[in-house]
Structure 1
Amino acid sequence: MAWRMPAETAPHERTWMAFPREGITLGESAAEREEGYAAWTAVAHAVAEFEPVAMVVDPSERERAARMLGTGIQQVEAPVDEFWMRDHGPTFVVDDERPGVLGAVDWVFNGWGAPEWSEWRKSAEHARLIAELVGAELVSSLLVNEGGGIHVDGEGTVLVTETVQLDPRRNPYADRARVEAELARTIGATTAIWLPRGLTRDYDEFGTNGHVDIVATISSPGRLLLHAQPDPGHPDHEVMRGIRAEIETQTDASGRRLEIVDLPAPSTLRDDEGFVDWSYVNHLVVNGGVIACGFGDERADAAAREILEAAYPGRRAVTVDARPLFARGGGIHCITQQQPAVAR
């Protein structure tokens, strides 16, 4: 077997999501909960304009999900606690030596390092559930990892972060070599580009400790979209300067220096909790489109759409308000997981 994770730009069979359920992530007040339900639903409907969407729904949310999602989105009933499908769900792979075979990597998920607040044991079962539903071969891994902690170019390059895969709360005995060997076995990554850290807000109590999918993504082999914070009053201005400098020293699986395209952050610097980590990097590429994060900054949102459409030729960028998602710890990419299309 030679498993390989395709680039997000490869054709999709569908996108997987998980519907929110009541708990600390969704919010304490009725208004907060309704905002969360609406945000997940808006993303699902935006994706469904381009490709099928399958939603895992907790039995307690069956009626609400049916009402809000409608008949155009497949609903799969199963226990849910956390609902960040990118992180707890499967990472899909293909086997180039066996055309038509789909694999599903089941990473160990421990709620981003097993913090006291996280509820994750039910959703940690979703990778196996979904693999069985779609007829994918299960690729079991002992690496504690999340889908938001990796980005690939589909040709052997993977982006990772020292504070995620080498986090002692996740993998206390890991080093770079062990992580890279496991990524080679499970997703076919032959070259790892290590980022030193993630964005400032991501190290708060409810953060992921540095997920790459709000920092950088490879839009096509040899080209990288990088979060940019132009305002020196935001700590990520210096953070991104250091990350950019590190990326500029590294090469991809083909030996190329990466062309870096900046994706400037919106103008808002803070919310009620502190400096924001709002990032247009956290978009989802779909069949014929890009589902882009919006932040209520019309000029910046429009500029991001232009950059994304240029980075993904032939795709139409659509903006969905991602502020309710980021307030809960992630963005559009974080709540979705693409299933690549394979010949059946």
Structure 2
Amino acid sequence: MPWQMPSETARHDRVWMAFPAEGETLGDTDALREEGYATWTAVAHAVSAFTPVTILVDPSELSRARRMLSSDVTILEAPVDEFWMRDSGPTFVVDPERPGVLGAVDWVFNGWGAPAWASWKHAAQHARIIAAEVGAELVSSALVNEGGGIHVDGEGTVLLTETVQLDPRRNPYLDRQRVEAEMLRTIGATKAVWLPRGLTRDYDEFGTNGHVDIVAAIASPGRVLLHAQQDPAHPDFEVSAALREHLAAQTDAAGRAFEIVDLPAPATLRDEEGFVDWSYVNHLVTNDGVVACGFGDETADARAREILADAYPGRRRW
């Protein structure tokens, strides 16, 4: 078992991002595009307060990126189409038998199941570009997977979703056993905990088909933060209740039952597209800080900050 993915709370040297590029994901109006640029810039600056940030920038966006990003953020020119780096980028792993050696898992990225609207030709190369830049050993994988589709505790446990890794648009010929074997080979996962599904909105045309990164996060070994929709008028009320029951019956790689901590959703139920999947679970623990999104719901945002502060003691919140 040569490679192991550290806990997502482990200290790290750098955070990698990609700057938005024109396309379907960025939006089809000037307002949406400007909001996307501003949001990515804000995230880069928030993260750089705790950890150095390098951001891949498409040549067509260099002037904008240089104008919007501070000197604290390092720009690396590279082709970009899809810019969700957590999904298209490498999964960094270490070798316990070779201290100081860094590996980079290069999953196959096909734009979350090859939907007609997605463009991923450039994004599919990001893992290799970054691995070469940092001098990491490339760990090639034939598994179609995204970083947001897995979550680990650093001690052998990985959270997966049946509708992601077993998605016929991603891996039509794989079963659980083959996926688990690849998780063992690439990230050292000895125990896979399969979730039956993700949040409702994530199954829409522009969704990921059930990514775990908005559902559950292992804050520390044995302790899971779980998205909790508390309004019965939202379909995720039943979904999150079922997921809680499912997780309560699981154990991690060490044989521990999970302590489940609810992370309540904001009060907003719908937007112009339908039921929302707004979730505080998709946060970043980066060295001495925690960077999480806010939704303009003062009560829910404050409650989420308190829960995250308790989950990650001693770290600043942003």
TM exceeds 0.5? yes
Give the letter for the 2:51 counterpart.
E
Residues 48-80 of structure 1: CA deviation (Å, up to 9, x unaligned)? 111100000000000000010021100000000
CA apart distance, 1:316: 1.3
- C-alpha distance in 1, partners of 2:112/2:39? 22
SS of equivalent to 2:24: coil
1 CA distance for matches of 2:236 and 2:48?
33
Q: Unaligned regions of 5+ residues in structure 2, if any?
A: none
The amino acid of 2:102's aligned partner reads: L
1:44 equivalent in alignment to 2:49: no
After superposition, residues 79-98 of structure 1 pair within 5 angstroms as: 79-98=79-98
2:292 aligns with 292
SS at match of 2:281: coil
Residue aligning to 1:18: 18
Give SS of 2:207's match. coil
Deviations 1:82-116 (A, max 9, x none): 00001100000000000000000000000000000
Q: Equivalent residues in 2 for 1:221-232 (5 A)? A: 221-232=221-232
| TM-superposition CA deviations, 1:8-28 (whole Å, max 9, x none) | 111110100000011111111
Q: Write out aligned runs for 1:118-129 (5 A).
A: 118-129=118-129
Q: Distance in 1 between matches of 2:147 and 2:32?
A: 26
SS in 1 for 2:139: strand
Alpha-carbon offset, residue 259 of structure 1: 0.3
Question: 1:54 matched to which residue of 2?
Answer: 54
Provide the residue aligned with 1:29 in structure 2.
29
Partner of 2:245: 245
- Unaligned segments of structure 1, at least 5 residues: 319-344
1:296 and 1:261 mapped to 2: Cα distance?
A: 22
**Stretch moving more, 240-249 or 133-142:** 240-249
Kindly indicate whether the alpha-carbon contact (under 8 Å) linking 2:45 and 2:70 is maintained by their aligned counterparts in 1.
no
The alpha carbon displacement at 1:299 in A equals: 1.1
Distance in 2, matches of 1:8 and 1:171, equals 25
Q: CA deviation at 1:246?
A: 1.1
- For residue 279 of structure 2, what is the amino acid of its counterpart? S
The match for 1:148 is 148
Q: In the aligned structure 2, how far is the partner of 1:7 from the partner of 1:219?
A: 9
**1:290 counterpart SS class:** strand
CA apart distance, 1:293? 1.1
**1:69 and 2:63 are equivalent in the alignment:** no
Checking the alignment, whether the CA contact within 8 Å between 2:164 and 2:209 is kept in structure 1 is yes
SS in structure 2 at match of 1:193: strand
In the alignment, the residues of structure 1 paired with residue 156 and residue 54 of structure 2 have an alpha-carbon distance, to the nearest angstrom, of: 28
The DSSP-based 3-state class of the residue aligned with 2:26 is coil
2:173 is matched with which residue?
173
Residue in 2 that maps onto 1:133: 133
Q: Which residue of 2 aligns with 1:308?
A: 308
Q: In the alignment, residue 298 of structure 2 is paired with which amino acid? A: E
- TM (norm. structure 2) is 0.99
3-state DSSP of counterpart to 2:314: coil
CA distance in 1, matches of 2:72, 2:311: 29
Identity in percent: 75
Taking the aligned partners of 2:26 and 2:205, their CA distance within structure 1 comes to 16
Distance 1:293 1:249 in 2: 30
Pairing 1:106–2:68 present: no
Equivalent position amino acid for 1:115 in 2: P
Give the Å deviation of 1:31: 1.4
1:329 equivalent in structure 2: none
1:185 aligns with: 185
Instruction: Give distance in 2, aligned partners of 1:27 and 1:250.
Output: 40
Q: Give the aligned partner of residue 336 of structure 1.
A: none
Hey, what's the Cα distance between the residues in 2 that align with 1:265 and 1:24?
Answer: 27
2:197 counterpart residue number: 197
Cα deviation for residue 226 of structure 1 reads 0.3
Structure of greater relative contact order (alpha carbons < 8 Å, 6+ residues apart): 1
Instruction: Name the CA distance, whole Å, in 1 between partners of 2:29 and 2:276.
Output: 22
Conserved 8 A contact 2:203-2:210: yes
Higher mean C-alpha displacement, 27-36 vs 175-184: 27-36
Q: Does the residue aligned with 1:294 lie in a helix, a strand or coil?
A: coil
1:287, distance to aligned residue in structure 2 (A):
1.1
Equivalents in 1 of 2:302, 2:72: separation in Å? 28
Code of the aligned partner of 2:287: N
Secondary structure in structure 1 of the residue aligned to 2:292: strand
Letter in 2 for 1:139: V
